[in-house]
Amino acid sequence: MKLVVDSGSTKTDWGFFNTPSDLKVYKTQGMNPLHLHGDELKDIISHELLDNYPEIKPDQISEMFFYGSGCANKTMCSQMEAILREFFPNASITVDSDMLGAARALCGHSEGVACVLGTGSNSCLYNGKTIKDQVPSLGYILGDEGSAVALGRRLIGDCFKRQLPESVSKEFMDKYSLTRDIVLENVYRKPMANRYIASFATFLIDKRDNPGVHKLLVQCFSEFFTRNVMSYHKPWMPVHFVGSLANSFSDELKEAADSLGMTIGKIEASPMKGLVDYHGSAD
């Protein structure tokens, strides 16, 4: 049996299959090694995955492909592989970045520009096999333009700095019982600030028709294009997206692309089906 894992900062999808048609997907919290220590990662696998789903038989996994946020260098990949090997002893394990996973899911064996828009954001130029060029994401403090973190950060800032209509700001503050002190405490003193900030992006879905909110969304997505995608200098090449945020705001994403003369290709909520197709046909 094969196992494909798509791991982000917020959630992880575990896809078990013999053939693409018999795929079974289980979910746990995110497993970003930049934000979690080894023992925390092991606890997720042990308790959230194996204890909660006893039907999973780890020793029956022959091949495992783990694509993870935070697995962008050899050190992080090696650390994650060592942790996974403790639980899947009979598997041939490959650990790569979530960006390569997105590119393979969206483009298969063809070249293209692939992007991830979820809790964080990332992009790459893919040549059909590997990542040919990549503008670094730099994470939620220095980068992650267009992501849920970026939208949440902009929403919080615009509300407190009175840049949005008062009715929208009041509804937002009331819905989450927010004050300045509460926000500052969660962002600057508590762990997982990226998840906290990103959680507010869902508020924008129902408010997207408000002119102020619409402007916020298009500006944030335009910033993602100008600071990331346009640096590949491939304006004729369709830009593909994967991620919950891209799927939720596909119209605003397309509007931002159109305003910059760019073309949107595929938009998928999850890379899982594409990755299963890719690895399921790679025998």
* 8, containing H or E segment: none
C-alpha–C-alpha distance, residues 122 and 129, integer Å: 18
Is 201 a domain residue?
no
E-strand ranges in 31-129 read 63-68, 92-97, 112-117, 121-126
pLDDT digits (tens, 9 = 90+) for 46-103: 999 999 999 999 999 999 999 998 887 888 899 999 999 999 999 999 999 989 999 9
C-alpha–C-alpha distance, residues 79 and 204, integer Å: 37
C-alpha–C-alpha distance, residues 128 and 100, integer Å: 10
Q: Which CATH number belongs to the domain containing residue 18 in this structure?
A: 3.30.420.40
Is 86 a domain residue?
yes
As a residue count, the chain comes to: 283
Neighbours of 82 (CB within 10 A): 12
pLDDT at 283 over 70: no
* 26, containing H or E segment: strand 24-29
DSSP code per residue over 107-171: HTTS-EEEEEESSSEEEEEE-SSSEEE-----HHHH--TTSHHHHHHHHHHHHHTT-S-HHHHHH
Is 121 a domain residue?
no
pLDDT at 202 over 70: yes
**Count of domains for the chain:** 1
C-alpha–C-alpha distance, residues 233 and 239, integer Å: 12
List the domain range (segments joined by +) for residue 81. Answer: 2-103+272-280
Q: Which amino acid is at 168?
A: V
Mean pLDDT taken over the chain: 92
Average pLDDT over residues 170-197: 92
pLDDT at 194 over 60: yes
pLDDT at 108 over 60: yes
Contact residues for 172 (Cβ-Cβ < 8 A; gap 6+): 155, 159, 178, 200, 203
* 237, containing H or E segment: none
pLDDT at 248: 93
pTM to 2 decimals?
A: 0.82
Angle between helices 250-259 and 211-227 (to 10 degrees): 60
Is 160 a domain residue?
no
pLDDT at 162: 95
pLDDT digits (tens, 9 = 90+) for 12-37: 999 999 888 889 999 999 898 888 88
Average pLDDT over residues 189-206: 91
Is 28 a domain residue?
yes
Neighbours of 135 (CB within 10 A): 16
Is 110 a domain residue?
no
Is 162 a domain residue?
no
Is 136 a domain residue?
no
Q: How many CA atoms lie within 13 A of 86 on its CB side?
A: 13
Contact residues for 233 (Cβ-Cβ < 8 A; gap 6+): none
